[in-house]
Amino acid sequence: MLKEAIDNVLGTSATYNKRQFPASVVSCTVPRNRFADAAKIMKKAYALLAAEWAVDETPFGGGFAVYACYRFANEYLIVRTEIPIDDPTFPSLTKKFVPAYRFERQIHSLMGLVPEGHPDLRPWIKFEDWPEDSWPLRKSFASSKPLPHVNGKYKWIKAEGEGVYEIPVGPVHAGIIEPGHFRFQAVGEMIINLEERLGYVHKGIEKRFESLSWQEGAKLAGRVSGDTTVAHSIAYSLAVESVTQAVITERAHWLRALFLERERIANHLGDIGAICNDVAFAFMLYQTTRLKEMLVRTNLKLFGHRFIMDRVLPGGVTVDIDEKGKEEIKAELDILSAEFEKLATIYDESASLEDRVRDAGELSPEKARSLCAVGIVARASGLNLDCRLQNPFPPYDRFEIKVPVLISGDVHARAWVRVEEIRESIRIIRFILENIPEGEISIAIGRPASDTSGFAAVEGWRGEIIYWVQAGIKGEINRCMVRDPSSLNWLGLEQAIPGNIVPDFPLCNKSFNQSYSGHDL
Amino acid sequence: MVAGFIIELLQITLVIGLAPIFAGWVKMLKCWSQGRSSPSILQPYRNLLKLFSKDIILAENASWIFRFMPYLVFGTGAMVSAIIPILSTDLPLSLTADVIVLVALFATARFFTALAGMDIGTAFGGMGSSREMMIASIAEPAMLMAIFTVSLSCGSTSLARIVETIYSPASVIKPSLVFAFIAFVLITLAETGRVPVDNPATHLELTMVHEAMILEYSGRHLALIEWAGMMKLFLYISLGVALFAPMGIAVYATPAGISLAFIYLLLKLGFSGIVIVLIETGFAKMRLFRLTEFLGAAFLMATLGMLSFFMLE
């Protein structure tokens, strides 16, 4: 449908790229002056912007390229446009799609391409203490050399008026959490604006990928966001397998799904407890933490790592499960399921808890849609988005799954989506254990052909994770684009907060629980 | 008279010494109620010791108010210990300070805490102070109302007289006292910063009330403030126990009477700890603006108590 829409309007000015895998993901190149038109067409077709990124294609003899990936129902479509070196500008998509706002700031800061018509070109992720003309993602950037220190200044959004005051929070917080800065403008206790400043955990992951081999890349992908290690490894591996056109065994796919669902349950348990703890209902935190600990200990025993890190590689997985292991997981699930239902009842029946979580931090379905939210946040705000359902990667194309969707968009909705997903994941794991096919768990992976690219989208516990990899001239990694769900959902938090009172912020933030590391890369 | 002063000293030492243990007891019960093992009942002492042995980090622009506040708050706590009949009603100082002075003493400590919160000029301190004053502006009238009800009912504002009147064999359960008691329980939760009003365990920057005001304190200053906080909890519970359940209190200061009163006190405190923990475990913290309803209910109860005194008694 998206392809037809492009064809209808742009006609022959859009050329299709045959070197993009898997073939189901359409990729077309449009002239630079039609890039924004393509976005307009996508907007009309009700598509959402999934990611926007830039690539330095000078090794192929070209200049730069900007890519925008759109999603509608079960389709992904990538629009690419080429940008000459001597005029590094491209039309901004921010007016069509709000999340382009941050993607383009990122492209501007890290690749040095100027989005024309963008309302706010302050640096994003890159710090103002770096020289303005150092663009780390360009191939010409010498990453081993130290940079000179410049005293830049970040211009914060200001609010003025009687009784308006600012509360700067972070980047170092009172707790063992990642760093991020939040600046509130408030009147009394009422928040009128929240501005986020992220980038404190920028590690240069995308740049680092370019100096690694395809196998080593899996290790790095597993460390993009530690709590989502399985989902990131799977997404990277699927992208690599698609670019090399490898077909891995069924058993490997099913084992990956087993790991993925275990990761989902563990993180959702932690989140539900943390949400309750933020309203001083600590009982819940200790109980869910106990259950989570039970899960990760079984992971350690059966798969050799508490978070199943480095167990998924391009080509398959490194650990198998035997009959004894299956029985152990089944027994564990029986305990988990019984205890979790008791806790869900306590959550559901505590009036004082309900009073706090209802109507707090509301992200309306309209806002969620215009911000192109994904994952739990989207499903709590009425958007039925789940890669496992709409773009099923194997083995999710082999069985039915139920995806909970709530429309109230408040803290309760985000908590309850997690409760329902835990129930569903328990069911999925039981199904996997009963039906997992026999066979090998990994195969050897070849080297991709020159100038080919691969794409994969995986539903991690936070939401859709996208990897786009491009092979260089000799088949090495030329570019690896990582899009964690947090890149989109942080905007959702910023928009859900105004109108709430200051003491409700930690609760709202916990219900989003986005990754800093996955966003800052 | 001399015996009376000995009792006064005994009470002050008791409050200062026992308050951390009571805080440890509440913490212990709370851990058990959440299904986990607890730190030792003496843990608050270790925390205080740790803080006392640390250096003070003082902001450059801290004024005398900031440095003075910990001593003032601690001193107020000690002074209040001499007024409330904890072990005995035979307290010479209770003639000099009645129940209104008691409320005023707590208010002074609170006033200086709020000032100190704003003294450094950080956003959090000011936020905490503004919240604290909001709570105070509703909690203090309710507290006075509850106390007036009890005073009317007993015909005196002297705490020792009130307790003696309630403790006398002629005393019966009066509806006004029941209302006042309910109001007092609600106010105690608010004044001592317990769930569902404030969370004593949290350091979440944006939700704190009391913790926000004292965020900039360190070393022995912080130790004194924390100790004073424990004393405040202890004193409120003792006050409630003295007013509404004075069984076993020593009317005459004899060694045997005092010892018996001490044993009764321990039992009553132990029981109060259980009640606090049941409330804290069963309820989530309220949304900040719900507090007006919560404390409004306390005020209403106290008013009803007063009305029922005029109509029924």
| DSSP secondary structure of A19-61 | TEESTTSEEEE--GGGHHHHHHHHHHTT-EEEEEEEEE-GGGT
Q: In percent, how much of chain A has pLDDT > 70?
A: 100
* A417-432 mean pLDDT: 93
First-residue to last-residue Cα distance in chain A: 33
Q: How far apart are CA B210 and CA B208, in angstroms?
A: 6
- Best B127, B287, B291 member to test A by mutation, with max A CBs in 10 Å, is B287
Question: Which pLDDT score is estimated for A223?
Answer: 92
Does B204 have pLDDT greater than 80?
no
CA dihedral B232, B238, B243, B249 (to 10 degrees): -150
> Which domains, and CATH codes, for chain A?
2-116 (3.30.460.80), 205-520 (1.10.645.10)
pLDDT tier, B297 (very low <50, low <70, confident <90, very high otherwise): very high
Q: DSSP 3-state helix, strand, coil percentages of chain A (rounded to 5)?
A: 45, 15, 40
- Best A164, A165, A276, A281 member to test B by mutation, with max B CBs in 10 Å, is A281
- Encode pLDDT of A65-104 as tens digits: 999 999 988 889 999 999 999 999 999 999 999 999 999 9
Residue B2: CB atoms within 10 A of its CB come to 8
> Cα A409 from chain centroid?
19
Does B253 have pLDDT greater than 90?
no
Query: Taking CA B22 as the corner, what is the angle to CA B65 and CA B194, rounded to the nearest 5 degrees?
Result: 60
- Encode pLDDT of A137-191 as tens digits: 888 888 788 888 888 888 888 888 888 888 888 788 877 788 899 999 988 888 9
Least Cα separation, residue B285 to chain A (angstroms): 5
Residue A219: CB atoms within 10 A of its CB come to 14
Question: Which pLDDT score is estimated for A5?
Answer: 81
Residues of A with CB under 8 A from a CB of B: 165-169, 173-175, 189, 276, 278-283, 286-287, 290, 350, 352-353, 355-356, 360, 501-507
* A17-38 mean pLDDT: 87
CA dihedral B202, B206, B208, B213 (to 10 degrees): 120
Q: How far apart are CA A388 and CA B164, in angstroms?
A: 73
Residues of B with CB under 8 A from a CB of A: 30, 33-36, 123-124, 126-127, 131, 195-196, 199, 201-207, 280-290
Does A422 have pLDDT greater than 80?
yes
Q: Take residue B207 and report the two structure tokens written for it.
A: 């939700």
Using a CB-CB cut-off of 8 Å, the residues of chain A touching B291 are none
Q: How far apart are CA A274 and CA A282, in angstroms?
A: 8
| Contact assessment for residue B264 and residue B108, using Cβ atoms and an 8 Å cutoff | no
Binary contact (B281, A506; C-beta < 8 A): no
Every domain of chain B and the residues it spans: 2-312
Helices marked H in B155-254: 159-167, 175-191, 210-213, 219-244
Binary contact (A287, B35; C-beta < 8 A): yes
Instruction: Tell me the ipTM for this assembly.
Output: 0.86
Q: How far apart are CA B292 and CA B304, in angstroms?
A: 18
Least confident of A186-195, B1-10, B296-305: B1-10
Using a CB-CB cut-off of 8 Å, the residues of chain A touching B194 are none
**Which residues are bridge partners to A508 per DSSP?**
none
Question: Which pLDDT score is estimated for B97?
Answer: 84
Question: Which pLDDT score is estimated for A161?
Answer: 86
Question: Which pLDDT score is estimated for B203?
Answer: 67
Question: Which pLDDT score is estimated for B285?
Answer: 87
Q: Take residue A270 and report the two structure tokens written for it.
A: 């932690």
Does B26 have pLDDT greater than 90?
yes
pLDDT tier, A15 (very low <50, low <70, confident <90, very high otherwise): confident
Q: What is the pTM of this model?
A: 0.90
Does B166 have pLDDT greater than 90?
no
Question: Which pLDDT score is estimated for B43?
Answer: 94
Q: Take residue B87 and report the two structure tokens written for it.
A: 């072990």
Q: Is B268 strand, coil or helix?
A: helix
Amino acid at B79: M
**Which residues fall within 8 angstroms of residue A87, CB to CB, at 6 or more apart?**
none
- Encode pLDDT of A208-266 as tens digits: 999 999 989 999 999 999 899 999 999 999 999 999 888 889 899 999 999 999 999 99
Does B1 have pLDDT greater than 70?
no
Least Cα separation, residue B122 to chain A (angstroms): 9
Binary contact (A175, B33; C-beta < 8 A): no
A156-163: which pairs have CB atoms within 8 A and are 24 or more residues apart? A156/A183, A156/A195, A157/A183, A157/A185, A157/A193, A157/A195, A158/A185, A159/A185, A159/A192, A159/A193, A161/A187, A163/A187, A163/A188
* B171-178 mean pLDDT: 83
Binary contact (A174, B124; C-beta < 8 A): no
**Which residues fall within 8 angstroms of residue B305, CB to CB, at 6 or more apart?**
B145, B146, B149, B175, B176, B177, B178, B179, B180, B183
Length of chain B: 313
| Contact assessment for residue B33 and residue B198, using Cβ atoms and an 8 Å cutoff | no
Least confident of A130-134, A297-301, A453-457: A130-134
Q: DSSP 3-state helix, strand, coil percentages of chain B (rounded to 5)?
A: 75, 0, 25
Average pLDDT, chain A: 90
Does A342 have pLDDT greater than 90?
yes
A83-86: which pairs have CB atoms within 8 A and are 24 or more residues apart? A83/A32, A83/A113, A85/A58
Q: In percent, how much of chain A has pLDDT > 90?
A: 54
Using a CB-CB cut-off of 8 Å, the residues of chain A touching B202 are 280
Does A10 have pLDDT greater than 80?
no
Least confident of A258-272, B205-219, B259-273: B205-219
Question: Which pLDDT score is estimated for A148?
Answer: 86
Does A53 have pLDDT greater than 90?
yes
Using a CB-CB cut-off of 8 Å, the residues of chain A touching B281 are 282-283
Question: Which pLDDT score is estimated for A61?
Answer: 85
Cα separation values, A320 from A233, A327, A438, Å: 17, 14, 10
- Nearest-CB residue to A173 (from B34, B199, B205): B205
Q: How far apart are CA A465 and CA A483, in angstroms?
A: 6
Binary contact (B288, A173; C-beta < 8 A): no
Question: Which pLDDT score is estimated for A483?
Answer: 92
The CA radius of gyration of chain A, in Å to the nearest whole number, is 23
Between B41 and A11, name the one with better pLDDT: B41
**Which residues fall within 8 angstroms of residue A251, CB to CB, at 6 or more apart?**
A320, A436, A437, A438, A439, A440, A441
- Best B285, B292, B293 member to test A by mutation, with max A CBs in 10 Å, is B285
Q: How far apart are CA B258 and CA B263, in angstroms?
A: 9
pLDDT tier, A307 (very low <50, low <70, confident <90, very high otherwise): very high
